[in-house]
Amino acid sequence: MAAENQSHTSQSDLPYVLILKPPPSFALFGDHVLDSPRFQYLKAYESPLPLPQFLHTHAHSVQAVLSSGRAPVTADTICLLPRLGLVVTTSQGLNHIDLSECRRRGIAVASAGNTYSADCADSVVGLLIDVLRKISAANRYVKQGLWSSQGVYPLGYKLGGKRVGIVGLGSIGTEVAKRLEAFGCSISYNSRTKKPLVPYTFYPNVVQLAANCDALIICCALTDETYHLINKEVLSALGKDGVIINIARGPIIDEKELVRCLVKGEIRGAGLDVFEHEPDVPVELFELDNVVMSPHNAVFTRESFEDLCKLVVGNFEAFFSNEPLLSPVALDHLPHFSGGKD
């Protein structure tokens, strides 16, 4: 009992981190996986109060927010938190955070940094080989007993020698390039700016990149500029022998157009971890053997989650000790996503 009293006393001195909605780590590992002796959580989702009222009540206690994809940090929320100094997100993507508002208010942002880059790149390679070599489709075929009854499975396509075009040569894009080079692929890319020290061919726009590759890989951030970046023109340039892989964000691709192209056979296939309106997925895709899908879990490995938990806690602890953040995001030149059209 005495110990409990003691911890209660010291608890009330601890700074607060606001959580609007539980992050994926809680669902997977329980509510205490991000605990630290140096701060405590204020869980808005556990309160019976409506959010604005909750925020109003606790406005002056909150210096930091833990965000995740399903718990966006909007200008409205930021407005209600005058002491907010830090947003830590469990994701690498930042499209759910009002970066302009953070920049204006001098609020620091920390993300997953490079924690997920290897896993995302591994997903890209997995999805790409799966689409070309029909791995998931052939596995289905065998497990339905069709190999012995129906015989030989149709041929796939060779990965070696294919031209790979990467949209967004950031940390994930770079890891993708490194891996696919080992398979004998040639690499080209499009990025906001050309990268001088990189040995890959740069194309100034995505249409040209698509026209000159066999596999288009989406690895860029979702911003106002990249919303529906992959449109009819790009898919047409990619052509009927082209494959598209998306592990970035669903809204980067005009999904209606993509589905139409796949159904009509205007592109060879697609590997998709993300969709415009998750968890809704266009049912037309379920009929197609040349499409491989995953439920936005490209980063959901046990190892990455363990690394992420340490990073999240480390960022908050650094902030509250006035030390440099472990994975700060440089807001100065970062483009913003204002939500796109629906």
Binding site for another protein (CB under 8 A): 24, 27-28, 118-119, 121-123, 125-127, 129-130, 132-136, 138-143, 145, 147-148, 151-153, 155-160, 178-179, 181-184, 278-281, 286, 292-295, 297, 300-305
CB of 213 to another protein, least distance (A): 17
Is the CB of 251 or the CB of 271 nearer to another protein? 271
CB-count exposure of residue 209 (10 Å: 0-12, 13-18, 19+): buried
Buried b (16+ CB within 10 A) or exposed e, 48-62: eeeeeebbeebeeeb
Is the CB of 162 or the CB of 336 nearer to another protein? 162
| Strand, helix or coil for residue 164 | strand
249 is catalytic: yes
278 is catalytic: yes
CB of 4 to another protein, least distance (A): 33
Is the CB of 63 or the CB of 117 nearer to another protein? 117
Q: How far apart are CA 241 and CA 266, in angstroms?
A: 8
Is the CB of 175 or the CB of 257 nearer to another protein? 175
User: In whole angstroms, what separates CA 320 from the centre of its chain?
Assistant: 27
Q: Which of 233, 278, 306, 317 is catalytic?
A: 278
Is the CB of 202 or the CB of 300 nearer to another protein? 300
Contact 66, 42 (CB under 8 A): no
Q: Which of 249, 257, 276, 336 is catalytic?
A: 249
CB-count exposure of residue 307 (10 Å: 0-12, 13-18, 19+): middle
CB of 324 to another protein, least distance (A): 27
Q: How far apart are CA 293 and CA 61, in angstroms?
A: 43
CB of 31 to another protein, least distance (A): 15
Q: What tokens does 334 get?
A: 């970062």
287 is catalytic: no
CB of 199 to another protein, least distance (A): 15
Give every CB contact of residue 72 below 8 A, 6+ residues apart in sequence: 96, 97
Q: How far apart are CA 64 and CA 44, in angstroms?
A: 13
Output the CA torsion 200→201→205→209 (10° steps).
-100
Give the catalytic positions in this structure: 249, 278, 296
